[in-house]
Amino acid sequence: MAKKLRCDRCGFELTDKDSIDLAYAGMSAWQTSARARGIKPRGVLPCKNYIRCGGEIVKLKWFPPHSKDDYLTGIKYIIKSILSLPVFILIFSWLIILIIIIIRLIN
C-alpha cells in the first residue's frame, strides 16, 4: 500500500494512515460510479477539490522532494531502478563494447 496519495491535478495529499486506509476502502465504489457515468477512473478516489480541479487521488511510486526524507526516498527509488538486473546487464554490455572499441583504436 502506498505511503502517500496525491491528487493528479491540484497536488492535494493524503499522508495519514487512516485517511489512506479509508481511501482504499472506498476505491471500488468510486471506480464503479465513475464507470457508470462513462468516466474512466484514473485513481483511488476523487480529490476533495474534485469540482474545482477535476483531479483524482492516485498512488505515488515516486514523488517530488518536499523534505530531506522525501528526497532520499526518491534517490533510493531511482538507484534501485537503475541497478535492476536487466538495466545493469545492458549498461555493463555497452561499457564492455566501448572498452573494446577504445582498445582497438589505440592499437
User: SS3 for 7?
Assistant: strand
- Interacting residues of 10 by C-beta distance below 8 A, sequence separation 6+: 47, 49, 52, 53, 55
Residue 29: the pLDDT is 92
pLDDT per residue as tens digits for the range 57-103: 998 765 555 555 555 666 777 777 766 767 778 888 889 999 999 99
End position of a domain, from candidates 60, 77, 98: 60
Is the domain of 42 the same as that of 77? Answer: no
Is the domain of 3 the same as that of 51? Answer: yes
Element (H, E) at 78: helix 68-82
- Interacting residues of 8 by C-beta distance below 8 A, sequence separation 6+: 42, 43, 55, 56, 57, 58
Would you state the cell numbers that stand for residue 107, as one nine-digit string?
Answer: 592499437
Is the domain of 56 the same as that of 17? Answer: yes
Give how many domains the chain has, as a whole number.
Answer: 2
Domain interval for residue 34:
1-60
**Rounded to two decimals, what is the model's pTM?**
0.52
Residue 70: the pLDDT is 57
Is the domain of 78 the same as that of 102? Answer: yes
